[in-house]
């Protein structure tokens, strides 16, 4: 059941019209990372914050394709360096 819920959340940035919402993707990234947040060092949180903001900024300015932005947010969830 948890897998289905996380799949549903991962699909949220792509509403039915096909428009990718960078803001929703950024917020969802932090919500999905919430369970790991306490085990991250301050340096790891700062690095993730900076990377996520770069992806968000590039997404907002259309410097990234929607699929690339989505993939980068997903990749950040697994990084801890």
Give the pLDDT of the chain (81 residues) as one tens digit per residue.
Answer: 344 444 444 444 544 445 789 999 999 999 988 888 889 999 999 999 999 999 999 999 988 888 888 899 989 888 755
Domain extents for the chain? 2-78
**pLDDT for res 18:** 58
Rounded Cα–Cα distance for residues 30 and 51 (Å) = 12
**pLDDT for res 81:** 58
**pLDDT for res 8:** 43
**pLDDT for res 57:** 94
| Residue 37 DSSP code | G
pTM of the model: 0.70
């Amino acid at each position: 059941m948890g897998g289905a819920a996380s799949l549903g959340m991962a699909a949220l940035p792509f509403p039915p019209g096909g428009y990718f919402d960078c803001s929703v993707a950024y917020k969802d990234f932090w919500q999905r990372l919430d369970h790991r947040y306490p085990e991250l060092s301050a340096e790891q949180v700062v690095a993730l914050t900076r990377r996520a903001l770069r992806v968000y900024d590039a997404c907002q300015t259309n410097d990234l394709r929607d699929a690339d932005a989505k993939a980068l947010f997903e990749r950040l969830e697994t990084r801890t360096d």
